[in-house]
Amino acid sequence: MSKLKVIFTILSVCFFLASCQLAKMGGDAKENPFDPKERVKKNLEEGKGFRLMDMTKNSGGGKFEFASSNELWRASLDTIDFIPLASVNYSGGIIITDWYSSDGESNEVIKISIRFLTNEIRSDALDIKIFTKKCDVLNKCTISEKSENLIVELKKEILKKAVIYEKDNPDKKKKPYVLSIPGDG
């Protein structure tokens, strides 16, 4: 096979796979307006799209949304701010604390893992796991997963703070849609 055929085959497979992924992202037809102009308006107001005309404007730099603009992320960090963090990855959607004990002499320490399943503020948006490590005098340790009660309380506290943060910034993603007709100056 020639190099050209190999490259063409690879590109065809990539386009095919990309089109499959785009088809999954379409959403439910019941939730989207039938009229294409209304769909465009809804998507742009929710921050799901971009306008080509906006790309030509000189805005003096790029627009970035940092982790501080995500209420659920901020609320999670603020809720567990008393525990040292071992790993934090915003793009990966995970926060892992270091082993922590409220008193330095305890033989029991905890570690919290918070995984973000969505950016929406709802009860199933977070997957929280709490592990306890108990060590005896010979430093033989056992690690187990903590009961649901503490997880429920932690999730409730995070969601409460996230709702407060969201109320402080109600129009974060909503941008007014203005139909711009080319040549309308």
124 in Cβ contact with 159 (< 8 Å): no
pLDDT of residue 98: 93
Q: Which residue has the higher pLDDT, 148 or 25?
A: 148
pLDDT of residue 147: 72
Residue 123 lies in a domain: yes
Same domain membership, residue 133 and residue 93:
yes
Burial of 76 (0-12, 13-18, 19+ CB in 10 A): buried
Does position 131 have pLDDT exceeding 70, yes or no? yes
**Number of structural domains found in the chain:** 2
Q: Tens of pLDDT along 66-94?
A: 556 789 999 999 999 999 999 999 888 89
Q: Which of 15-24, 112-121, 132-141 has the lowest mean pLDDT?
A: 15-24
Q: Which domain holds residue 151?
A: 67-168
Residue 127 lies in a domain: yes
Same domain membership, residue 34 and residue 95:
no
